[in-house]
A and B are shown apart, each in its own frame.
Chain A
Amino acid sequence: MNSSFNPRPRPAARHFGLRWTLSSLLLACFSLAPAISQSADDYALGPDSFPQPGVPQGAVHQTNWTSKIFPGTVRDYWVYVPQQYDGSKPAALMVFQDGRTYQDLKGQFRVPVVFDNLIHRGEMPVTIGVFINPGEVPSSQADQKARSNRSFEYDSLGGQYARFLLEELLPEVAAKYRLTADPVGRAICGISSGAICAWTVAWERPDQFSKVISHVGSFTNIRGGHACAPLIRKTERKPIRIHLQDGSNDLDNLHGSWPLANQEMAAALKFAGYDYKFEFGDGGHNGRHGGAILPEALRWLWRDYPKAKK
C-alpha cells in the first residue's frame, strides 16, 4: 500500500495483501504468524457506526467537478444531507478528503451512518457532509492512463487546495444548501495525505475552517509537510481545534516516520497552546483505529457547538 493511502476502491484488500505476504514469509520461517498479526491494530467499530432503529437516515448524492484551480482535473464528490436539515437555518459543514472512503457505508469510517446517529442524539449539529475525491487528469488517448493528482493536491503546503474548496467546490454545494459562514461551524477531515491536506486548509484559512480531524496524517516530507510542527511553534496561535490520531505501527519510509511526525505535531500543538487531542494507538497505516474512534472524535470536536459562537 502506498504511503499516502490509496484512495481507490480496494485499499483494504491491498493492505490485507501486504499483511498476508509478510505473515506467510514468517510462517515459512517460524510458524509464528498467528501470534503476530493479532497483537496490534485490532480496533473494531462500535454501535454508533451501524444504523440504529428509529434514527432518521440522511441522503447522499454523488456528482462530479472539473477544476480550473487544479487545471484539467476531474473528480467525483458526494454530499450528505441529514433528514433534520430543512433549510430554515444554515447547517454546519464538514468536508472529507478521499471522499469515497469516508462515505462508504461498508468501509472503515461510514460517516453518513455516524452522522445520522450523532445528529439524532444532538451530539453534533445538523451538518452537511461533503466527501471529495482527489483529482485526476484524464488521458486523451485510449492507450494512455489517467494521472492521479492526489499527492500534488494533498501533500503540498500552501493555499491552492483551500482556494479550490472555497472558490470552486463549496460554492456549488452552497448553491443548493444553506451552510454556515462561521468557521466554528465548519470542520475538515482526512486520512494520510488527506489529513495533512485538511490541516493545511485550516492553517491557511482559519477564517473558514476551525475544526480538524486527522487520521494517520502524513506530516512527513512527502512534499515538505514535516514543516507543519515547526510552523505551529513559531506562528501566532490560530483558532483551530484538532483531533489527531496515529499508531505506533504506522509507516516509516523515505518520507519520514509517521509515528514520530504525529508525536511532533502533538508536542507542537501543546507547546503553542492549541485545543487538541492526540489519540496514539498501535495501528498501522489504515483507518481501523480512526474509524473506531470517529464517533468519540466527533463528539469531542463539536462538544460545545453552538455555544462557542457566543
Chain B
Amino acid sequence: MRDKRTSVKDALFEPPGPKTQKIIWAVTALSLAALAALIVVVVRRFYETGQLDSKYWSIFTKWTTWKFLGKGLLGTLEAAVVAGIVTFAVGFILMVLRISGSIIASAVSTALIEFTRGVPTLLFIYFFFLVVPKFGVKLPAFWKICLPVSISACGVVAEVLRSGVNAVPKGQKEAAQSLGMMPHSVFLKVVFPQAFRFVVPALISELVIVVKDTTFAYVVNFPDLMQNAKVLISNYDALLSVYLVVAVIYIVINWLLNRASVAAAHRTGK
C-alpha cells in the first residue's frame, strides 16, 4: 500500500542527461534497423524456400484444424492445472518438513528438494514411461506426464515458499504466539498467508515452467497441444506454419499467467 512505487529501472539507473539521451536514441535506432533487417532476411528465406505458400497456411482456414488444436490445448491446460496443483501441494509439504524442528524430516526434505531440482524433467518422464511399467504399474498417459512434471517443479516451489516464510518478520509470529495461538494456527493463519503473498510472482514463474514442461507429453503419447501439432505437421507437411501458430498460443497462455500474477500482486497490496 505504498503510494510511491520504485521500479527496478528507478533503482538501478539515474535519469539520463542530454549526452546519454543522444546515445540512447542512437542505440535504439541502430537496434531497430538491425531488427528490421533480420525480419526482412528471415521472411525472404521463407519466401524463397516456399514456406509462405498458401498450401502451408490454408489448413488454418479449416474448422477441423482449430478443433484439433483446441483439443490439444485442452489437454495441455488439464495437464498444467493438475500438475500445478500437485506441484504446489508437494512443494508445500516439503517446505513444512524442511522448516519443521525435526532434524530427520528436515534432512530428508532437503535431500528430496536438491534431487528434484537437479534432475532434468525429461529424465523423470523417461522414468515414469519406461521404468515404472516394468514394475507392473500401469499409469494412464495423463499421469505419466503430470507426475514427472510435478516432481521436477516441486523442489523449486518448496524453496520459493520457504524464502517467503523466511521473509515474514519474526514479530508476526511472536504476536500470534502471545495471543495464545497454537503453532499450527500461527503458521497457517499468520505466517504462511503473508509468505504466500511475498512469493506469488515467483510461483507464477514456476507455473509457466510447468506449462512449458507439459510439452514433453509427446514422449508419453498424451494428446496435448504439442503432440497434436506434431500430428498436424506430419499430415500436412506444414512445419513452420503450425509451429508458429502453436508458439503464439503458448505465448498467450503464459502471458495471461503473468498478467494474473501482476493482478494478484496488486490485489495483495504490494
Check if A and B associate: no
Chain B residues near A (Cβ < 8 Å):
none
